[in-house]
Structure 1
Amino acid sequence: MTSRFPIGTNAFEREWDALLILDTCRVDAMREVADEYNFIGSVESMTSVGSSSFEWMNNTFRTRYKPQIRNTAYLSQNSFVDQTFGKGGTTGKASIPFEPSRFDVVELEDFAYIEHLWQAEFDDASEWTVSGEAVSRTSPRYTTERAIEAGRTRDPDRLIVHYMYPHDPYVLADEKLQPRFDTALKSGAATREEVWAAYLDNLRFVLDQVEVLLKNLDRERVAITADHGEAFGEYMFYRHPPACPIPSVRKVPWVETTGTDERTVEPTAPSPSDSNRNATAEERLQQLGYL
């Protein structure tokens, strides 16, 4: 039903020059840390068009918004890009018979520019990698520097930067919360308070990089939001299953701010094609606990 009749507010219905997506960011989490960041003022909320990344992508980048998308650059750390554009959309691991066959989604060539940040793979010693006790993943710093590069050299009318934080795994947390927090939460190995604290640390980790980006990007209207939220046991839901109706997953923050390029950073992050090797979509999904 949501593939044919999506609910929520499409980001292209709002005014922005740059849209920063914090994957799985909850409204209450953003409000809890807001006072720690000068660039966060009022934290509003809106209903997302999806409760999972693939659902959000398929319902955001619909063909009806093709005129706006043609003037939009999209830099994404989320590997569902690979399964969305050019393949008519996908629902990943949705259970039959609830998986729709196709979405009304644009093609890769309909973007002004698209960069598959998720493909970049670095060794554990790389400055672009952050390692936890049990898992490693690409640092949000890599996304920030690639966005700075795109903002300065390509200067698209609209820029979307999709960070893969605060999405788990929580590389800054104890090993018991890696790779998936819900395993520890369901088994009793970790309390909700411990999981929430680790989640907020992941959020601060990416917001620190958002702060860097805003000081190195000339954009008058910057919006910070999320593709979807996260469930920590509310109504017996965990993480962010597709077509999930509960507010903690479906409501996302909306923060409006601005960016001024003070050139405090000269980006050195390599293009995804110049990284050590290119990861596959399956490898990224496995890293994030989907496979």
Structure 2
Amino acid sequence: MNRSQRRLPDIGGFLRETATTVRREGVAGLSVPARAFYHKLLQQGSRITPPGRSIYEKDWDVLVVLDACRYDLFAAAVSSPDTDFAFVDRGSLAATRSVESATRPWMRRTFGPGVEGVEQTHYVVGSPWSSLQLDESWFASLDPVWQDAWDDDHGTLLPETVTDRALAASREVDFDAGERLLVHYMQPHCPFIDSPDIATPKAADGFTDAAERDVWTRLQAGEVSLDEVRDGYRANLDLALVEVERLLHGIDSERVIITSDHGNATGEYGLYGHPESMPFDCLREVPWFETTAIDTGERPSSGRVRSDPTSAEPTDDDIETRLRALGYR
């Protein structure tokens, strides 16, 4: 067969068929290879959209990261008449574009030995990705709270635990010398603490059980409704905001920022959760809330009952299973 007789792959037909399937059935309707191709195709949009802004491009003394918090979710929470937090009353909200759409690459693009400001940062971090992406030597101090305080009953790291550790760390921060405090809560990231019926808490040794699937997988499969997920997502944020209020009642600072590492997709473009390197606003537009912290001398602890924290140093298997609990595996 000569070259003119060879049939070339019908790329145009494949793309049209893929687009039709996604519109009709969502990404779940694609074959595994087609789904991977579709994600790669969407990721190319990051080449032509704004790259996002690093947290170190602005001045701050205390920065709070609410993991996986969409801008519109945060805006609705702080503007609600039911929200009564002092830090909200004295703050102002804007939207910013994150440098990434998932925690792992966000950490990779935000921190490093050559990034100005990192070595002055005391980082209290709740995400298990810290063990794979961060080096303690980069920071003034690094406290991976999840390593010894993971709550197996709830299948996550509770926000009050992060607040307790952040308040302790704040006593070691020399703000006058230019040091900074970075506090990374796991909420509103799933699992949804008060909605175990839609986001099942998982024990450390049960995250690979197929019956206990990530909430975004369940939403995509139609096992839970979008309204249920939105309610659980918002409730998780509210739990975190209670703890942010407690944190900011234990520190004095004129320059406090509340933001997020990335958002979440709830079906936009056939996407669910937070796949990496996506360009879309649902995943990259996050809050940038400027406020202040006033030490009132009152630091009441949370009334939530916690399970016994993990005492042993986590193994590689522990890290993998905790990442599964958060929907990353």
Q: TM-score, normalised by structure 1?
A: 0.80
Supply the AA of the counterpart residue of 2:158: S
CA shift in 2, pair 1:24/1:13, >3 Å: same
Shift of residue 194 of structure 1? Answer: 1.1
For 1:11, the equivalent position in structure 2 comes to: 55
Cα shift readout 1:240-277 (whole Å, capped 9, x = no counterpart): 11101110101110001111122212789xxxxx9523
Match of 2:312 among 277, 282, 285: 277
Q: Secondary structure at the match of 1:249?
A: helix
CA shift in 2, pair 1:225/1:249, >3 Å: same
2:236 and 2:256 map into 1 onto residues whose CA distance is 21
1:130 and 1:219 map into 2 onto residues whose CA distance is 34
Match of 1:22 among 66, 69, 73: 66
Does residue 70 of structure 1 match 2:116?
no
Stretch moving more, 226-235 or 256-265: 256-265
Shift of residue 183 of structure 1? Answer: 2.4
For 1:257, the equivalent position in structure 2 comes to: 291
For 1:116, the equivalent position in structure 2 comes to: 144
Cα shift readout 1:164-214 (whole Å, capped 9, x = no counterpart): 110001121142333521122122222111110110000001011000000
Shift of residue 43 of structure 1? Answer: 2.0
Does residue 218 of structure 1 match 2:246?
no
For 1:246, the equivalent position in structure 2 comes to: 280
Whether the aligned pair in 1 keeps the contact of 2:94 and 2:287 (CA below 8 Å) is: yes
2:224 and 2:123 map into 1 onto residues whose CA distance is 36
User: Any runs of at least 4 consecutive aligned residues in structure 1 with deviations exceeding 4 A, and if so which?
Assistant: none
Whether the aligned pair in 1 keeps the contact of 2:103 and 2:129 (CA below 8 Å) is: yes
Q: Secondary structure at the match of 2:198?
A: helix
CA shift in 2, pair 1:223/1:45, >3 Å: same
Q: Secondary structure at the match of 2:87?
A: coil
Greater share of residues in helix? 2
For 2:99, the equivalent position in structure 1 comes to: 49
| Equivalent residues in 2 for 1:152-191, closer than 5 Å | 152-155=171-174, 157-178=179-200, 180-191=214-225
Supply the AA of the counterpart residue of 1:50: E
Q: Secondary structure at the match of 2:115?
A: helix
For 1:98, the equivalent position in structure 2 comes to: none
Whether the aligned pair in 2 keeps the contact of 1:33 and 1:204 (CA below 8 Å) is: yes
2:156 and 2:115 map into 1 onto residues whose CA distance is 33
Greater share of residues in strand? 1
Query: Identity percentage over the alignment?
Result: 34
Match of 2:266 among 195, 210, 232: 232
Does residue 196 of structure 1 match 2:230?
yes
Whether the aligned pair in 1 keeps the contact of 2:125 and 2:143 (CA below 8 Å) is: yes
Larger radius of gyration: 2
Q: Secondary structure at the match of 1:120?
A: helix
1:174 and 1:121 map into 2 onto residues whose CA distance is 20
Whether the aligned pair in 1 keeps the contact of 2:262 and 2:286 (CA below 8 Å) is: yes
1:215 and 1:240 map into 2 onto residues whose CA distance is 32
For 1:143, the equivalent position in structure 2 comes to: 162
Supply the AA of the counterpart residue of 1:70: E
Q: Which structure 2 residue ranges, 5 or more long, are not aligned? A: 1-43, 201-212, 303-308
For 1:208, the equivalent position in structure 2 comes to: 242
For 2:327, the equivalent position in structure 1 comes to: 289
CA shift in 2, pair 1:6/1:70, >3 Å: farther
1:191 and 1:24 map into 2 onto residues whose CA distance is 19
Shift of residue 121 of structure 1? Answer: 3.8
Whether the aligned pair in 1 keeps the contact of 2:101 and 2:263 (CA below 8 Å) is: yes
Q: Which structure 1 residue ranges, 5 or more long, are not aligned? A: 86-106, 123-128, 269-273
Q: Secondary structure at the match of 2:75?
A: helix
Whether the aligned pair in 2 keeps the contact of 1:51 and 1:250 (CA below 8 Å) is: yes
